[in-house]
Amino acid sequence: MKEKKKNSPLDLRDRTIIEVRYRDGYSLRNIAKELERNVSTISREIDGKNRRGINKYIADISHRKALQRIKNRGNTFKLDKYKELKEYVIKKLKLGWSPEQISGRIKKKYPRNRIMRISPEAIYQYVYAQIHRNGNGTVKKGCEDLRMYLPRKRRRRMKKGARTPQRIIRRESLPVIEDRPKIVNKRKEVGHWEDDFVLAQKVKPCVKTINELVSGVYLVGKTTDKTAKEGDKALFDKLKRIPRKYLKTLIRDNGSENQNYKTVEKKLGLKVYFANPYHSWERGANENANGLLRRFFPKGTNWNKVSDRELFKAEYLINTRPRKRLNCKICFH
């Protein structure tokens, strides 16, 4: 039989011997001597695994992983091949664009440049490939941690899940979302809005947010507190420049700060409806937009220390993101 080279890759037989000897308490040095390998080779193969129990070293699993690594060897990401594409993607990620928005918008900006094409999945894979153990370890040498710029800032990739809706008894005295015109759900008619407060801890000042369902326009205004008077004042200030034909309905939650809805209807000429208690998904667009605002101003932000200029900049950056529903167009500049 041909003698195996000392520096050749470990095969399944080698790994089986390692599993058995390691389980029986042999030292790494003795295992290396039997296989005529360097101790460092055995140490890397074991990778801190336990001798017995959970996370123990298993030969066939380790061998399959090794074969996969060999298969992927030499594969390079498209972003590493093309500097202009990489710079565009990273720049837009840092502006708060999602991988899906980047992928859709880049086709519009470079319609004839086939190099400037990338899928959302390729962007996600590139971001997590910069981190050891697919997001569970430290940043690789010479790489940048871009996870903080992703929509949900996940340390590791997670499967999408859905919450189970709760059956809640609604307040019969308020106009409810079920009575809203059915055309709103089709999202083909401009003029249907949602609003909410974004609060701060331990301080009264907060932010009133308003968004339109079709265009995606998102408006933000500071308030001195979370009272109905202050909230509605910010609402009027932000919507007073919107033509009346684009003010048709408004969805709010059931908080006490939203109960002066008849005044809002009279002043703005629209119809107000209320989401069911604890059904935040009924105002999903606003919840999502508020999540984008939190990327600029995390929970715990003291709104007293946020200037109007900083708030306007965040509002501008959110509104100049390409929208999938608009075929990756931007709602305004």
- Provide the domain count of the chain: 3
pLDDT tens digits for 223-238? 998 899 999 999 999 9
Are residues 132 and 68 part of one domain? Answer: no
199, 224: one domain: yes
- The per-residue DSSP string of 29-59 comes to HHHHHHHT--HHHHHHHHTT-BSSSTTB--H
Does 65 share its domain with 84?
no
276 falls within a domain: yes
In terms of domains, do 125 and 202 share one?
A: no
pLDDT bucket at 86, cuts 50 / 70 / 90: very high
Q: pTM of the full predicted structure?
A: 0.58
CATH of the domain at 266: 3.30.420.10
Task: Answer yes or no: do 196 and 308 share one domain.
Answer: yes
Tens of pLDDT, residues 23-70? 999 999 999 999 999 999 999 999 888 888 888 999 988 998 888 777
CA distance 69 to 74: 10
Query: What confidence tens digit (pLDDT) does each residue in 8-23 have?
Result: 889 999 999 999 999 9
Query: What digits encode the pLDDT tens for the residues 284-295?
Result: 899 989 999 998
Q: Is the pLDDT of residue 162 over 50?
A: no
**Shared domain check, 199 and 128:** no
d(CA 23, CA 41): 17
- Beta strand pairing status for 249-252 and 322-323? unpaired
Please indicate, yes or no, whether residues 286 and 313 belong to a single structural domain of this protein.
Answer: yes
Residue that finishes a domain, picked among 72, 91, 119: 72
Residue 170 lies in a domain: no
Q: Are residues 84 and 67 in the same domain?
A: no
Residue 96 in domain = yes
Mean pLDDT of 264-288: 90
Decide if 165 is inside a domain.
no
User: CA 166 to CA 169: how far, in whole Å?
Assistant: 10
More confident residue, 5 or 30: 30
**66 and 87 fall within a common domain:** no
106 domain residue, yes or no = yes
Domain that holds residue 21: 12-72
Backbone phi, then psi, for 194, in 5-degree steps? -135, 150
Residue 6 in domain: no
